[in-house]
Structure 1
Amino acid sequence: MEQHNLSTMGNQVDVLKPEAEIEEYIDEGRLAAVADFEKKEAKLRRKLDLYIAPVMMMLMLISYLDRGNIGFAATQGMADDIGLKGNQLNAAVSIFYATYVLAELPTSLFVKRLQFHRVIPAITFCWGLVCMSAGFVQNFPGLVVTRLLLGWFEGCLFPSMTLLLANWYRREELAQRVSYLFIASALSGAFGGLIAFGILYMDGVAGYPGWRWLYILEGLITLVWAVACIFLVPSSYKTAYFLNDEDKKIMAIRESLSESYSGGDGHYKLTDLKLAWKDTKTWLHGISQIGVVTILYGFGTFLPVILKYGFHYTTKQAQYLVIPVNLWGAIVYAIGAVISDRYNKRFWIMAVCAPVGIAGYAILLTDVPVGVQYFATYLIATACFLCTGGNIAWLSGNVAPDGKRAASLGTQLTLTNLGGIISGQIYASTDAPKFTLGHSWSLGSLGFSLIIFCFIRVLYKRREAAKAKAREEGVVVPPGEFTDRSPNFKYQF
């Protein structure tokens, strides 16, 4: 009997052995297919980073040049030439964000339907024309009109670029690519200083002061790039000039994998708005963004003014000393974004950098040598770019489906630019050289945002715990009702 059992067991082993070998072969084949796909996908990402990301970065750089050059123009005599009085310069800075705010939410909702490759070149051409026209203003009302128009057309840009990137990149890749936009915004401060420094030597050419040439030349650059975007911004991956047939197949798979947060045809409904507005995280991300954008726009616009009238540097020094500060901000943001994507740490990157910026503002509020004050601007740059862009990427990756994400992002960006309105008022020229209100308000804004970031993290942790319990209980949500609140959607922290 024992011998018979052994014989039977042997026969079973003989049967099971080839079956196991087949399963092993299949598993190895699956692993090989996955590895091959990942290799091809990595190659595709490099191609996207070569053809999509640089176009968006250039747009971001130019837009920040055109909105921020008012700070450089102010140090080159614009206020006296067109007869600005009191805090009219601050009013001109703030009024830009009135129309900017109004443009962002509708753009977020309709840009996909209107198609990115049409909207982006059109709005770029329009604001380039407005920027060039600003070089010919003669008084405060003329400056106000150009700032209102500039705000409207530039307000359409950032949601267009962010949603375009979300249509080309997967969620786990998005933070790094959104970071490219804010790296470009940091570089715009550096390039703006360089251009402003060079244009100082054009003062008097054709009878125009240097600040007028600043607007005219930067407007012309924008117009040229708008025409280039007609050819550089593809309508979709199916018609992209830089993708071959294999790339398009990979993009189709990526689109399918990203369907829960990147699907949709852009025809959003009122229910998408309701989903976004009923979700607490939309408002928490938006409110915290007001604080970090207050420091970003205040720092970016008024740094040349602070250097000249606060630190008592010369006009030339104020133009070129902004360059290394903004370069430092770009480098910090690039490193932070890579770490955030690689380790999926959205919160901790901002939680580490925000106190550094708070320390920078604290230094500016104390009586210390000018060299120490200038060092403090580097501490501020460490926080302002990374916290602003990181918060946008954090929300973008945690909202589904596409319609809700567009509404949430549009709401966040609308609230964001309330910070722009505030930033134009806190650095009044009459407050020089201390700028106590501006520095103290900025310190408080950054601290406030850091506290909200902590609340957001707690919210995500609690929701994830509830989702884990729902998954254990076997809760399943129909595909048509899938949102980021569904058990199978995992938040990024």
Structure 2
Amino acid sequence: MAEISKKPVLDEESPENLKDVQAGTVTDLDEGELFLHEHGFSQETLQEMLEDEPRNKALVRRVDLILLPLLAGTYTLQYIDKSALAYSAVFDLLTSTNMSSNEYSWLASIFYFAYLVAEYPWNLLAQRTRLGKVVSGNIVAWGSMLMITAACSSFTGMAICRFLLGIFEAPITPCFMMIVGMWYTRAQQPFRAGVFYSCNGVGAMIGSLLTFGIGQIKTIAVWRAIYLILGGITICWGVLMLFFLPDDIISAKRFKLDEKALLIARSRLGRTGVINHHIKWYQIREALVDPQIWILFFFTLLNETINGGYANFGKLIIKGLTKDPLTTVALGIPQGGFQVFWILTGTFLASRVRNLRTIVMAIYLIPTIIGVCLMWKLDHDSHKIGILFSYYIIGAYVCSLVLALQMPATNLGGYTKRSTGVALVFLAYCAGNIIGPHAFLAKEAPLYQTGCKVILACSTSQVALALCLRWLLTSRNKRRDAASENEGAAGIAVDELADLTDFENPNFRYVL
């Protein structure tokens, strides 16, 4: 535990907060801090570097050019690959494998059962070893599973492949959230997370166009061609990632020593730490009793219950309007564009306007509420354009998800607590996607009234949870501000070099 001493409290987003680091008794430094000590970077040197605005902007642009294309490309492929099941169902998957609609629902859920099982172990492995190599190896593995899926001829074979696909895709999003939390300041994180997550929408557009082209194939079953082509592309991308995705700031080969020091200094501004390869069990226990994490857990659970049904049955709803598989695929393209719009505008606002994140989380659920009411109540025969538009705007809930998924990396101090918080939220992510498809009953196709009711209940409940989260974080910040004022001008300070949790560090302030 770090020694506590008197020191002024400063704004966490300001470079000035680095001046309050004093010598103390530190038994377990964050590894970013060890790097700075080993290479002799003084606080004065780091302060000068942080105050050099052109240098900081140039470095952030360089990080963007190196990291974001890799994250965005992976997310585009992940969405397309994950949606291969939905694309295949539009064509000849169900008839070729003699699969019922109920079995199809279970295939959608099985993926997330695997995700649920594998996500936290992968997270721990990524923390203890090399994050970049864990991500890259899993990309190659899931691409291989896609190609193997093309050989299946029954529900059993599809279920096994789908389970293994979930195992190998499980670490991608949690690791990406940790990467963004490591390389960017807290103010920059929402939009960067939004950039790669919006590639779900890009993936929806590219996947629809690609599937439209594959749908012209006459030599083999279209669904098998989908899996073979997508799997081959993914394997090639995974090999590329193996060479270019850095494991962390400290070991990144494409940055000079002073650039790494500046990146670590920037990461310190939010007091969340850079990286620590040691698992700290007391931080895991602290994560389990933090109400903030459990509000985010239930928010994500409800959000992904919506997604589990919407993502897997959306194209079947469209198919109910047109009956033609190729037209169904083509009509799915605008949905991807809408998703890009929702995510980028919401995360941009959350990054630009201070303490607006929980408000954006609530506001971006309103189009979902409106859209599902229209889909539920409009006549599907006489209002086809209205149904199609409602399908497009329902996807606004994804922006709220992106911000919720980024919250643990932004608002939790201590590397183990942060990774545990990310993992718990992603457990809810999996559980919701398991539950969601089963609200869409085959006998109600193509209207799916029960599914619409579930989406409406989940989205309205999320609005309430977002407001509760804002109240909780505001209360914590006010209590800490009051405690700081009571200490007088000297304030409260700790050794910021230590890998402290947000509960341990009285200078930590939560982002709203």
Question: Scaled by the length of structure 2, what TM-score is found?
Answer: 0.85
1:483 aligns with 2:496: no
The structural deviation recorded for 1:168 is 1.4
Structure 1 residue aligned with 2:274? 263
Q: 1:341 aligns with which of 340, 351, 364?
A: 351
Supply the distance in 2 between the matched residues of 1:73 and 1:461 (Cα, whole angstroms). Answer: 47
Supply the distance in 2 between the matched residues of 1:263 and 1:39 (Cα, whole angstroms). Answer: 23
1:435 aligns with 2:454: no
- Matched letter for residue 315 of structure 2: P
If asked which structure has higher relative contact order (CA below 8 Å, sep 6+), I would say 2
Structure 2 residue aligned with 1:404? 417
The structural deviation recorded for 1:200 is 0.6
Contact 1:87 1:430 in 2 (8 A): no
Deviations 1:79-105 (A, max 9, x none): 010111241100111111101011222
The structural deviation recorded for 1:481 is 8.0
Supply the distance in 2 between the matched residues of 1:41 and 1:175 (Cα, whole angstroms). Answer: 18
Structure 1 residue aligned with 2:388? 374
Structure 2 residue aligned with 1:184? 199
- Matched letter for residue 326 of structure 2: K
Q: 2:483 aligns with which of 448, 470, 476?
A: 470
- Matched letter for residue 42 of structure 1: K
Tell me: CA distance 1:481–1:47, structure 2 relative to 1, closer, same or farther (3 Å): closer
Supply the distance in 1 between the matched residues of 2:461 and 2:424 (Cα, whole angstroms). Answer: 19
Structure 1 residue aligned with 2:239? 227
Runs ≥4 residues deviating over 6 A: none
Deviations 1:290-340 (A, max 9, x none): 11122233322322111002x234211110111111111112211211111
1:164 aligns with 2:216: no
Supply the distance in 1 between the matched residues of 2:479 and 2:427 (Cα, whole angstroms). Answer: 30
Contact 1:69 1:301 in 2 (8 A): no
The structural deviation recorded for 1:245 is 4.7
1:304 aligns with 2:336: no
- Matched letter for residue 114 of structure 1: T
1:452 aligns with 2:459: no
Structure 2 residue aligned with 1:328? 338
Q: 1:50 aligns with which of 65, 79, 83?
A: 65
Supply the distance in 2 between the matched residues of 1:255 and 1:454 (Cα, whole angstroms). Answer: 28
Contact 2:273 2:499 in 1 (8 A): no
Supply the distance in 1 between the matched residues of 2:384 and 2:509 (Cα, whole angstroms). Answer: 48
Contact 1:103 1:152 in 2 (8 A): yes
Structure 2 residue aligned with 1:20? none
Structure showing greater radius of gyration is 1
Identity percentage over the alignment?
22
Structure 2 residue aligned with 1:88? 103
Supply the distance in 2 between the matched residues of 1:115 and 1:217 (Cα, whole angstroms). Answer: 29
Deviates further, 128-137 or 291-300: 291-300
Deviations 1:243-264 (A, max 9, x none): 2454334224324445x31234
- Matched letter for residue 142 of structure 2: W
The number of residues matched between the two structures is 458
Supply the distance in 2 between the matched residues of 1:300 and 1:96 (Cα, whole angstroms). Answer: 13
Supply the distance in 2 between the matched residues of 1:226 and 1:439 (Cα, whole angstroms). Answer: 37
The structural deviation recorded for 1:417 is 1.2
Question: Scaled by the length of structure 1, what TM-score is found?
Answer: 0.89
Structure 2 residue aligned with 1:273? 284
Structure 1 residue aligned with 2:80? 65
Unpaired runs of 5+ residues, structure 1, are 1-28
The structural deviation recorded for 1:199 is 0.7
The structural deviation recorded for 1:216 is 0.6
Supply the distance in 1 between the matched residues of 2:432 and 2:156 (Cα, whole angstroms). Answer: 23
